Structure 1
Amino acid sequence: MTGTLTRRRLLITGASSGIGAATARLAASAGARVALIARRDAELTALAEEIGGLAVPADVTDAAALIAAVDRAADELGGLDGVVASAGVARPIHVATDDPADMANLVQVNVIGLLHTLRATVPHLIASGAGDVVVLSSLSGRRVPRDTMGVYSGTKFAAHAIAEGLRLELAEHPVRVTTVAPGYVATPIADAATGSDADRFRADVAAHGMSPVTVAHLIVTALTTPREAELVELAVRPTGE
């Protein structure tokens, strides 16, 4: 990390586990006031109590509920200085033969959920006068690693494009946009994966996955970089992948 998050007001989606939870703990330890968004109320409340944060349960695919949660967080924190959009799912599936419902879920969470998050938070970040957006994508948003990752990679290619488009859109505003693109990370996303290739996917993550804390450090680095600089993309892979 290159600075402090003292008094920074940060909102994190996907905060009940994995990278989101690790980022919440690290940001709080660096002085941030943290609002947590995820669907799982019990896990979110427990983490909020642990770090002295604010739990605002919501599903990122529900635009109205998400806007209400973000507005509540901004109201209780007195504004927002940063958002970490880390909500996501992974499903290793074949385009031609696997369940279309799995494909739709990938798009709804990883793309539509991201768009809902940005639309709900960006006005608050502009109002702060020095905001940050961190979009959690993947190395699979830079290439398709194997035959069952085409749909997932498509959603992460979209995340990269959305983040870059937002950067251009916000060129006249004091809001930075960083994309963080990790390879395998050992999170519950792998445990919940479904599809014809789920077992191999879980085995690869178990063998090579980085700690979520490693990715959280990159996110906090982006948030604490001096304002004269903007980290456009942080791409990282496990050394053994």
Structure 2
Amino acid sequence: MALSGRKVLITGGSAGIGAATARALTSQGAHVAVLARDGERLRAIARETGARPIPADLRDPHAVPRAVEAAGDELGGLDALVNNAGSFRLGAVRDGRYADWQDMVELNILGLLTASQAAVPFLTRSGCGQLINISSMSGRQEPSAESGVYAGTKHAVRAISDGLRHELHGCGIRVTVLSPGMVLTNRGEYISDPQLREATARWHEEQALDPADVAAQVCYVLAAPPDVHLVEIALISARQTP
């Protein structure tokens, strides 16, 4: 399928994978809306790409349906939702902070659920609806001591996506999980422990994927023929230790 004219909403669209996806899709003629809570960065991406900015906090269950509705109105419908917004926090449970756990659960799981629920009517009407959920290699592997909670949220994304694939099959909506390894985005800047934050930044600099490489896979999924249902794409940098 050609991407030109496709109507796509991207959550977490103000930076990282989301911003790279907005650049990739708009360069190929797609009509894009970007949703994020950082209004300043969101407007900057909108000016750069021509995407419609939709400011909203995915942690607010009342704001999300209104934001998805606004995106659908701005674009004249939705053909795809890219659930990219997420929170990456590392740390052992015994030293963990409730606020970090809450942020990951609210963004990585509940934000994905509320955005998906609000988008389903639009995607059903599209006739070629697609739902792309950005998970992680952490959701496919045994976690380390420091990544257990984050990995747990990404395992949940895979399980939810599998359930949605069954649920939405009769609506003609395809559900794909995209599971990248380390991606050079915020370099772990929100990690509380300074030593772990420094080590994560170093690992990202040495081994992480460029966000544009992940965005290219989003474009690949969206361009799949209507009769091809891609279940999952997992990828890591060739520099990342398997």
Moved more, 131-140 or 73-82: 73-82
Deviation at 1:192, TM superposition (A): 2.9
| SS of aligned partner of 1:190 | coil
1-side partners of 2:66 and 2:222: how far apart? 24
Q: Which residue of 1 aligns with 2:113?
A: 115
Coordinate RMSD, CA, aligned: 1.2
Check whether the contact 2:139–2:152 (CA below 8 A) recurs between aligned residues: yes
2-side partners of 1:239 and 1:127: how far apart? 40
1:53 and 2:54 matched: no
1:124-163 pair list within 5 angstroms: 124-163=122-161
Q: Which residue of 2 aligns with 1:235?
A: 234
Alpha-carbon distance change, 189 to 205 in structure 1, aligned in 2, over 3 angstroms: closer
The residue type equivalent to 1:225 in the other structure is: A
Moved more, 32-41 or 62-71: 62-71
2-side partners of 1:15 and 1:105: how far apart? 18
2-side partners of 1:159 and 1:20: how far apart? 17
| SS of aligned partner of 1:228 | coil
Moved more, 57-66 or 187-196: 187-196
Deviation at 1:189, TM superposition (A): 5.6
Q: Which residue of 1 aligns with 2:84?
A: 86
1-side partners of 2:28 and 2:187: how far apart? 26
Deviation at 1:100, TM superposition (A): 2.0
Q: Which residue of 1 aligns with 2:189?
A: 191
2-side partners of 1:50 and 1:57: how far apart? 16
Q: Which residue of 2 aligns with 1:40?
A: 38
1-side partners of 2:151 and 2:143: how far apart? 8
Matched length: 239
Q: Deviations over 1:12-38 (max 9, x none)?
A: 000000000000000001111000100
Q: Deviations over 1:38-58 (max 9, x none)?
A: 001111111112111100100
Alpha-carbon distance change, 189 to 79 in structure 1, aligned in 2, over 3 angstroms: farther
1-side partners of 2:225 and 2:21: how far apart? 19
Deviation at 1:127, TM superposition (A): 1.3
Q: Which residue of 1 aligns with 2:19?
A: 21
| SS of aligned partner of 1:134 | strand
1-side partners of 2:172 and 2:135: how far apart? 22
Q: Which residue of 2 aligns with 1:217?
A: 216
Check whether the contact 2:187–2:201 (CA below 8 A) recurs between aligned residues: no
1:103 and 2:105 matched: no
2-side partners of 1:141 and 1:166: how far apart? 17
Moved more, 40-49 or 194-203: 194-203
- TM-score normalised to structure 1 length: 0.96
Moved more, 7-16 or 68-77: 68-77
2-side partners of 1:133 and 1:198: how far apart? 32
2-side partners of 1:189 and 1:32: how far apart? 29
Identity, in percent, stands at: 41
Structure 1: 4+ residue segments shifted above 6 A: none
Deviation at 1:190, TM superposition (A): 2.2
Deviation at 1:191, TM superposition (A): 2.6
2-side partners of 1:180 and 1:150: how far apart? 20
Q: Which residue of 1 aligns with 2:200?
A: 201
1:7 and 2:13 matched: no
Q: Which residue of 2 aligns with 1:164?
A: 162
The residue type equivalent to 2:206 in the other structure is: A
- 2:172 counterpart (165, 171, 174): 174
Q: Which residue of 2 aligns with 1:69?
A: 67
- The answer for unaligned runs of 5 or more in structure 1 is none
Q: Deviations over 1:81-131 (max 9, x none)?
A: 001000011111101222122112111111111111111111110111110
